[in-house]
Structure 1
Amino acid sequence: MASVETAPALAASWRRCRDDYNLDPNGAFPPMRLTDSEIRQRFERTLDRVEFGSGAMIHMRKVVRDTGYSVLFADRLGVVVKDFCDSETAHRLRDKGLAQGSVWNESVVGTNGIGTTLVERHGTFVIGSDHYHNRLKEFVCVSTPMVDPEGDILGVLTLAGNAGIQPGEARLLHRLVRDSAGWIETALFRNRFRSHFLIGLAQAPDINGEVFQSLLAVDDGGFVAGASESALRLLGAARADVLRQPVSELLGVPLRALEGGMGRLQRLDAQGGDAQYAYAFPNGRRSSVVVQPPAASSVRVRGPARQPAGPGFERLAGGEPRMQRNVELARRVADADLPILLQGETGTGKEAFARAIHMHSSRSDRPFVAVNCAAIPESLLDSELFGYEPGTFTGGLKQGKTGKVLASSGGTLFLDEIGDMPLELQTRLLRVLSEREVTPLGAVEPVPVALSLVCATHRDLERMVAEGSFRQDLYYRIHGVRIALPPLRERGDLCDLILSLAAGQKCSAGPLSLSAEALEWLVSHPWPGNIRQLSNVLRLLALTCDDGIVRVHDLPEEIRAGRQPASPGRDGPADTADANRDSLRNASDMAQRLRILQALRECNWAVSEAARHLGISRATLHRRMKEYELARPNG
């Protein structure tokens, strides 16, 4: 999220198009589009951002519905990975290339909202003739960048439509885009630091939107572990000057007084400045504090009490037999000196499972340190993992940095998406695991470490070993115990799981409830984002459902677009075959279908073996397979 600075940015962009890119304003069009395989890969890499941003993007689409605008999310290379397009003008935009998979890098198509925003790193609106390419002059693009919790640009949020608007209207649209981007950044920040103590900053004694976007994350030692872009602007400080600083010195706020006044607005005495206001409110299992940034002082912060993190094994297992077996295995090895490798698709709950292992072990009162190897730029991953000594390189913290490996000593180090770790760092990690010591960058002597290792990946590491993209010796070093987490669509307890998670969501009318038809749609959805996607959908429904009962028309478009409704008169066609195929009229029928599908998959579609596993005859299984139209997939 960033402010809009348009005129100078457009002039600079045109110069780049003419002098650096040598682009022809009448050249070939539309822009290049990735292959379907490449689109899937880029979508998977940004799935967490798309999921966390889906609520904001759906809200944007509702606001501009029937105005001819499309809502687009492009990644950091300018590739559109998600688009919301439901009007005639928006379909024309797709014809021009503003659709999923199209590349809008400035060096490819010239001045445009997405590409120019990525270069300038702040919001832009490009109206009509502001575009460099003549084929784009009938359109307007209002864009703003989004940054991840580490301050790196993760993509661009854009509204695109007809160019027949005035700059004043464009500024209003930009406010919508900017606020939505801020919502997505906040959701990502809160997820990244969900186990930390959060502090919101505000300029005035009001509990408003600024409070929830201007965030600092504080670790158990009272040090700042993360800062949102909005918080840095309020503090007037660079990220490097804030991170790892004692929050008490940074803010000068005695948290004990704030904790004592939780739930009400507090006025605090400012030291040499304006009055300070604070509001303490619960945030998950920790307290979050909202304060106005005052002058610095030497007040010491008392960190929040340590409490168990994340769901326990019982909740993770549910009624799914494979998960129950996984939990039993994890209980047995939680305290063993064996590395654990978790494998499963994106969103299957690998980090939650790793946290449950940690909390079940004798190390539960020691640090659990999570590192997403795919989320940290390759140039920073070395220093993030192994740390560095003071003065090692220009731009580093003056006091140096403790790496994640050393920070996890005595506890659990969780390396998520280890399959994305560069080969050079694989070699360093292997040495650390073999010798049980780490040498920070710039250090001479190694430092001993005692840690328990849990790794996770959605990739096929054996295939990567065969291809030479993952070290074989490291693979066997981390492969002490392998636990495979099933995707959501294959879980036999999917119906019960959805109902359980929905009951845990509170809306204005009480706990969230699902109509039979809505439950049917949710159970039949493939859930490519798995538990993470399901949780986000249910959270959205809790916010948008007025009477607390979710019906089919309340479901997000991406759910309803997955298949046709089950019967006529309820938003769908009167095709009897489709209705019979999709109409599982109650929860027990749906659960039975899923149990049969799970058994067939586990038995590699051997019908006799699956029938024995289910405790029914082969003829009965054939009849139910026909009833539910279950057939072995080709290949």
Structure 2
Amino acid sequence: MGEPVSYVQHAREVMTLIDGFPRMPAQVDKPVAYSWLRCAKEHRLRPDGPLDPAVVENRHLRERQQRLDDLVLIARAEMDSLYEQISGSGYALLLTDASGVILSEKVDPTLRDNFRKAGLIAGANWSEQHEGTNGIGTCITERRPITIHRNDHFRARHIGLSCSAAPIRDTGGELMAVLDASCVGSDDSKASRMHTVALVSMSARLIEKCLFLRRFRNRRVIRFHSRPEFVNLLHDGALALDDDGRIAAADDMAVALLSADCRGDLIGRPLTEIFDVSARELDSSLSGPRQPILPVRDIEHGRRYYMSVHAAQPESRAPRTIAGSSQIMAIEPATQTESRAHTLDELAGHDPSMQRNVRCAHRIASSRVSVLIQGPTGSGKEAFARALHLASDRAAQAFVAVNCAAIPESLIESELFGYRPGAFTGARKEGMRGRIAQSSGGTLFLDEIGDMPLMLQTRLLRVLEEQEVTPLGGETPVKVNLRIVSASHRNLKDMIARGEFREDLYYRLNGITMTLPGLRERADLEALIHRILGEETALGRPAGIEMEAFRRLAAHDWPGNVRELRNVIRTALAIAEGGVIRLGDLPSDLLPSRSAASTGTPVTLASVASITVATGDEGSAPGNPLERAEREALLRAIAVNRGNMTHTARQLCMSRNTLYRKLKSHGIAPETLRSDGLSQA
């Protein structure tokens, strides 16, 4: 519509159009006009109606979030990525369920009050029935991406908003959520919002793709497109297969690419009835370390496609207790297959940030793009680099790893570049091929690149630019075919500013940066602990872990990350009696800190509310009123939930890992807050 108007004028124009329907002013879009009519006739709303939004109770909001926990987890990661693209433009990103209730939000902190006043808060219901014509509610009704800009809104109180929303569909094609980008008080035109709705739609499609792949991760999945470079990306088609090779599910892109009328035209049919590919070809494509791209044709039209086949991931083992004990969890030993180097998809787990890294890695695996892996020490940078190599077209060649921090500075040059016979005193008489030459055709992994001396940085840059290396003592350069993956836990940009790292080398190595999260930041920490317990358990040997020991592993901060976790588990299994890890088998820094709770008298739930700051250790800051208030609030919540940590974390709107970290910071030992016969699940 036209220029912004007053609330009263807007309400009058809306009612005039409704009274004169079906005659409509040219400036009113048909979807908007029909929505206004629904709001007035079906929902009995008035454009000048009540101002207060309908907000569900916190417990009902948590129930809605839990019902869609997979969606919320994936969507939040994508919202973080989208927010980086539109940050500074005044937008809030909102995720709602299919009924229009806001489940999650990503808002510029400086604008949070503006959005709160507009009613854009978690738990608010933005369906057309409650808020009239708006981006979220009208998207739900129309089942398509839409922008509702300022005066398009039915209710006068919303004419300062501009909302662009896109539907998110489940694996069966049914609407399950809406992703929305809204801003308050923008004077831009509606046409200028086309870019925003396109970005939101693309993010919604990516969320759908991730949901599909997650939902069918235990089946073989076919990814295909008419252009090979699009296979395994957002716009390819995806088909999930049953054990007998029949199509169990298809996403929207698969339906569109195959010119099918609907999913039902594909589901239940053998894949070999759709494409000219045999079951033997499908099986053979899974035997290598990476997924090859197969050229195929669709049988009905003879059109050329390119296909990749992804193996079913093994079912995650649900924790089970050892017979005769409800406090000991059995550890399922890993098979030999699970003990090999992990693939990218295995490393992704169920953590959104790792899944985003893996998506990027798959896209550039077979390119010459240089990769820089950042992350704290012990977070698995070398394992990720090795998985990237296995996913590339260089997998059959060497993966050569060099730790620039572990090799003495006097030797690193000869290690990297090699040397001719007699190049220096003490050199091998036959000379040595350097690591760079050894990696030719494969992948060279330079770990802790920030520790490479400046002089060698200059030589390495020349090698990368010229793709040739001259050994020490030699005069003739040797051609090499290099793919570099480097890693560092240090901030290389800060090092550049201090003159400790070459800027030109940084930009040569940093084709794409992937940042691995620390262990304590991973959303799938407990599942990762399960996996490593299985990997470190000897094949065929029964083993288990006491539930309190497992909770202690999950609550620890893990400054050494995955490497520290693996070492702790390996040591604990080695010293555990009867193959069962108990609390006493863990290192002392994982055990409860000294407090009044550990003096021999357990604190029962009946007395939790009376525990004061005086029971804490030195780290509990008894003189700090904010920390004292937080500590007492934690104890009260635990008492209300009778020691159930899962319920307590849910009530406090935090993860269990965060709850355990907070308890540790206040010197509260969870095992002392017990109530006879109750679980601390």
TM-score for both structures, normalised by structure 1? 0.50
TM-score for both structures, normalised by structure 2? 0.47
